[in-house]
Amino acid sequence: MAELRKNPLTREWVIVTTEPPHFAEGQDGCPYCPGSEHRCGPELLAYRDPNTPPDTPGWWVRVVPSGVSQFDSEGDVQRHDEGIYDTMRTVGADEIVIETPTHDEAALVADAQQSEDALWACRERYARWCAPDLVKSVVISRLYPAHDPEHPHWRLLALPVVPQRLWELAKGLEQYYDYRGRCGLCHIAEADREDGQRMVVENRHFVALAPYASMYPYELWIIPRRHQASLACAQRQEMHSLARILADAMRALKGALHNPHCVLTFMCAPCNIEGMEHFHWFLRVLPNVTAPTRAALKYGICVNPVAPETAAHHLRRSAVALLASRP
């Protein structure tokens, strides 16, 4: 059983699922490694050798159902009251983008082409799921290093609702546009590039910076330099640049924080809702998220003990040291 439930006080929607993962029983090992294709359900997209049939080895990026929650890809959400509460069916999608056949996070970071292809698959699935009217948001995220299983993968959720924080960001960008007449993220990227204090690394299409009001120590935003509301607008050469700046940022974090655990999330425009042309997608990286989350729970507001300017300084030094040590 899976359903969406609304917290009547905060208006936050939550997926409640009571089913265990649906990997085929009786087999050990990683369900995302080549040779285990049958354990994940039919593949939804694959970049593979054209001489190989679906659901067999021969792929280098593969998208499959998550096997965790049960989403129907079509039909009505059947929103209804349950006493004083509000609930609806989980219509949409819950998918896994398996980024590489190799069960090795470090190998993926080192292979920019592989990482680019995986990011392109995320973009393809985002565009696929933005199209139907019933979908209001597509959330794509991953743990770094990957966990459960420890095979590099993104998780994509296509939802009939917009998560509260994403909605607040969308409304904030809309109000910023109304007030200043320009996109807030374009403005931040431009102003912080000029200022330099919070910049970590940049390339032709992206900047990576520690945002001025970072909620968490060493929080990073990787922002496209060209205004684009939707990830579906990103072009191939931009995904090429994203793969490279993401690898640089992860290496800098690894050097500065000694192998941190990170949460990476694409902050993408809500879908099929008017007024979202002022949104500007970006990739948010939160390192070592557990400790600050505990602090947030303790104080009721995020308390960040590391100034973003200090974090950016350490990360720049880490990135420069890595460049200098390359043969």
Length of the chain: 327
Q: Which stretch binds Zn ion (CB under 5 A): 72-80, 116-124, 139-147, 220-228?
A: 220-228
Quick one: which of 4, 13, 32, 319 contacts Zn ion (CB under 5 A)? 32
- Nearest alpha-carbon partner for 121 in 71, 70, 72, 59: 59
Partners of 86 in the β-ladder: 6, 81
- Which of the 8 DSSP states describes residue 23? P
Quick one: which of 142, 244, 251, 280 contacts Zn ion (CB under 5 A)? 280
Residue 9 CB-half CA count within 13 A: 0
Quick one: which of 5, 155, 227, 313 contacts Zn ion (CB under 5 A)? 227
Check binding of 244 to Zn ion (CB under 5 A).
no
Quick one: which of 15, 30, 127, 322 contacts Zn ion (CB under 5 A)? 30
Least separation in angstroms between CB 92 and Zn ion:
26
Edge-to-edge, what's the strand order for the sheet holding 137-144? 45-48, 59-65, 93-98, 153-159, 137-144, 262-267, 282-287, 220-224, 206-209, 199-202
Give 103 or 261: the residue with its C-beta nearer to Zn ion: 103
Separation CA 247–CA 267 (nearest Å): 18
The two three-digit tokens of residue 65, written as one number: 């159902």
Report the site for Zn ion in 46-85 (rule: CB under 5 A).
none
Quick one: which of 183, 231, 285, 319 contacts Zn ion (CB under 5 A)? 183
Least separation in angstroms between CB 248 and Zn ion:
22
> Which amino acid, one-letter code, is at 172?
G
Check binding of 225 to Zn ion (CB under 5 A).
no
Give 161 or 208: the residue with its C-beta nearer to Zn ion: 208
Check binding of 151 to Zn ion (CB under 5 A).
yes
Q: Which stretch binds Zn ion (CB under 5 A): 6-14, 98-106, 134-142, 251-259?
A: 98-106
* Contact between 138 and 157 (Cβ < 8 Å): yes
Give 33 or 127: the residue with its C-beta nearer to Zn ion: 33
What secondary structure, in 3-state letters, does 233-262 show?
HCCHHHHHHHHHHHHHHHHHHHHHHCCCCE
Size of the site for Zn ion (CB under 5 A): 10
Check binding of 186 to Zn ion (CB under 5 A).
yes
Report the site for Zn ion in 120-149 (rule: CB under 5 A).
none
Least separation in angstroms between CB 204 and Zn ion:
17
Least separation in angstroms between CB 189 and Zn ion:
8
Place of tokens 């292809």: 117
Q: Around Cβ 216, how many Cβ atoms within 10 Å?
A: 24
Least separation in angstroms between CB 186 and Zn ion:
3
Q: Which residue ranges make up the site for Zn ion (CB under 5 A)?
A: 30, 32-33, 103, 151, 183, 185-186, 227, 280
